[in-house]
Structure 1
Amino acid sequence: MTNRTETVRDVGAGETVRGTVRAGRPTPGAPRVTQAEVLEVTKVPAGEAPAAPGTCPASGIRVGAGAGDAAMGLRVVGLRVENCGRQACTVEGYPLLELLDDDLGAVGGIRILDGSGGITAAAGPDREPRPVTLEPGGAATAELVRRNTTGSGTPVNVPYVRVRVKKGADPVTVTLHLDLGTTGELGVRPWVPAP
């Protein structure tokens, strides 16, 4: 079995939403699915939610979380920006981030570093920030790098990250669950063309 994530939009406080969970095609020999359980519910402001699949926000830029990787305490997760509009646009430098707690309040005491060199050399060399022009349908990615090292102090977990593609852009809040341990640092790599 695998976990499935589904976004339900515009649910007010205290409201209930009913729906159908579709498990998809089972692998041969897998037991029949007879029930589903909600493991976690997260929330973001409706105006900052990532665009629904198949839709394009008025800005023409869709922002979301990319794939993640974790090994030996080193964690890397991607951000992805797609030009779903009709005009070319350019992103440059580093995504602008705000780290948020469960109540969407600011998480303090974390240094956001340009690049990952201060975190690890194992993630490969940092690239110099360069302008990335996104034609319609084009995409770029940026990686967030951290160590889940726990020493003295209280480990910090950051469930949400408010992302701006560049200064002045509308914010999008993504659910990333960054487990920062007690390092107090998060490395951010620059936007690069998506493979």
Structure 2
Amino acid sequence: MRSSRLRLLAPAAALLLATACGADRADQGRGAGAAVPAPRAPVTDPPVDGVRITSVTLPSASPTPPATHGPVHADRLPGDSGVFAAYQVSNDGDEAMTYTVLFAFTTDTGGVMDNREVTVSGVAPGSSRSGRVDLGVLAPGASPVTRVKIEKVSKVPAAEAPARTGACPASGLRLWADDGDAAMGLRVVGLHLENCGKSDYALDGYPRLSLLDENREPVPGVRILHGGAAIASGTGYDDPPAPFTLKPGQAARSGLVWRNTTLAGTTVTVPYVRVLAGPGAAPVTVTPDLDLGTTGRLGVGAWERADR
């Protein structure tokens, strides 16, 4: 079973290199081991779905390279740290959006030394937010990082963004998806629900799902089946539904189960899943990146109590 996030990564984009001192961070703290920064050089590569890297700090013994429209390289002293990228998120839509951006820190030959995920919450229409993402300190003997790239951008309406931490949503319910597991083509992603409000919430049955494409439009042709056993046995989401009450401070769980088998036909991917926990609940859009292959089937487990 894998422990990393289930994603079909978009093509690597916005490969930027410049030496710089970054802008303020959006939703993430600064890393350790900062080195002496070189002067800032602008980066003019195009954005990826509204996100662009504006500069990168790389400790280097080489002079600062000039600005360019293509990839820029800089030699880095072995053992140096303090690598970070400044970025900007711009919302050209008509509603507030929450962006989740996966950055990859790579070697000159493209090897990924580490990934960092940053969430930028509630970017208003027509506005921009700046921030910085840090690599931190590489393990001893690791190859030097010479590039930073935007690996993937997901964005959902701010009112439907998952809320694992922070202020309790107005609905009194938090809902989010975990990083998931995968083995032998079987995928399982957990859905988690917490009553962070002041009132009891009754559950009986299954989460209600809407499958959405990259433009958040409905994905046709996928059957949503009740129970993980509809896809595979032993997933932990096989029990039939039973009514129970989620009191303040209590949690529940469900799960999404599928296979990525590819046979004859057109493969289907579902980057977004809009989830309703039950009657009266506010919708939450999670980003499990369902790689359904040609199976056309997705299993969903019944809500059940979760250990805290």
Q: TM-score, normalised by structure 2?
A: 0.58
Identity of aligned residues (%): 53
Q: Which residues of 2 match residues 70-89 of structure 1 at below 5 A? A: 70-89=182-201
Q: Deviations over 1:153-186 (max 9, x none)?
A: 1110000000000033211111110000100100
Give how far 1:53 is off.
Answer: 2.7
Q: Distance in 2 between matches of 1:70 and 1:93?
A: 25
Q: Which residue of 121, 127, 132 corresponds with 2:244?
A: 132
Alignment CA distance shift 1:125-1:84 (3 Å): closer
**Preserved CA contact (<8 Å) 2:237 2:300:** no
Q: Which structure is higher in strand share?
A: 2
- Per-residue CA deviation, residues 50-94 of structure 1 (Å, 9 max, x unaligned), is 237312111110111124110001111111111111223222210
Query: Given that residues 132 and 140 in structure 1 are in contact (C-alpha distance below 8 angstroms), is that contact kept between their aligned partners in structure 2?
Result: no
**CA deviation map 1:21-63 (0-9, x unaligned):** 2446x47536587864322111111221123731211111011
Runs of 4+ with deviation above 6 angstroms: 32-35
Of 130, 140, 145, the match for 1:29: 140
- For residues 241 and 198 of structure 2, the distance between their equivalents in structure 1, rounded to whole angstroms, comes to 25
Shift of 1:6: 2.0
Task: Decide whether aligned partners of structure 1 residues 59 and 72 sit closer, same or farther in structure 2, where only a CA change above 3 A counts.
Answer: same
Aligned to 2:160: 48
CA RMSD of aligned residues (A): 2.3
SS of 1:137's equivalent in the other structure is coil
Looking at CA atoms only, which structure, 1 or 2, has the larger radius of gyration? 2
Q: 2:214 is matched with which residue: 95, 102, 116?
A: 102
Do the aligned partners of 2:237 and 2:301 also contact (CA within 8 Å) in 1? no
Contact 2:164 2:175 in 1 (8 A): no
User: How many angstroms apart in 1 are the aligned matches of 2:165 and 2:273?
Assistant: 20
Residues of 1 paired with 2:273 and 2:155: CA distance? 12
Do the aligned partners of residues 52 and 82 (structure 1) sit closer, same or farther apart at CA in structure 2, a change above 3 Å counting?
Answer: closer
Aligned to 1:175: 287
CA distance in 2, matches of 1:109, 1:101: 12
> Is 1:69 paired with 2:159?
no
Matched letter for residue 114 of structure 1: H
Cα deviation, residue 5, structure 1: 2.2
Q: Which residue of 2 aligns with 1:161?
A: 273
In 2: Cα distance, 1:129 partner to 1:14 partner: 44
Q: Structure 2 regions of 5+ residues with no counterpart?
A: 1-112
Report how far residue 4 of structure 1 moved. 2.8
Shift of the alpha carbon at 1:15?
4.7
Equivalent residues of 2:164, 2:176 under 8 A apart: no
- Residue 261 of structure 2 contacts residue 295 of structure 2 at CA under 8 Å; is this kept in 1? yes
2:118 alignment partner in structure 1: 6
Q: Quick one: structure 1 residues 95 and 103, their matched pair in 2 at CA, closer, same or farther if it must change by over 3 Å? A: same
TM-score for both structures, normalised by structure 1: 0.88
Report the residue type matching 2:140 in the other structure. Answer: G
Counterparts of 2:207 and 2:189 in 1: how far apart (Å)? 13
Aligned to 2:298: 186
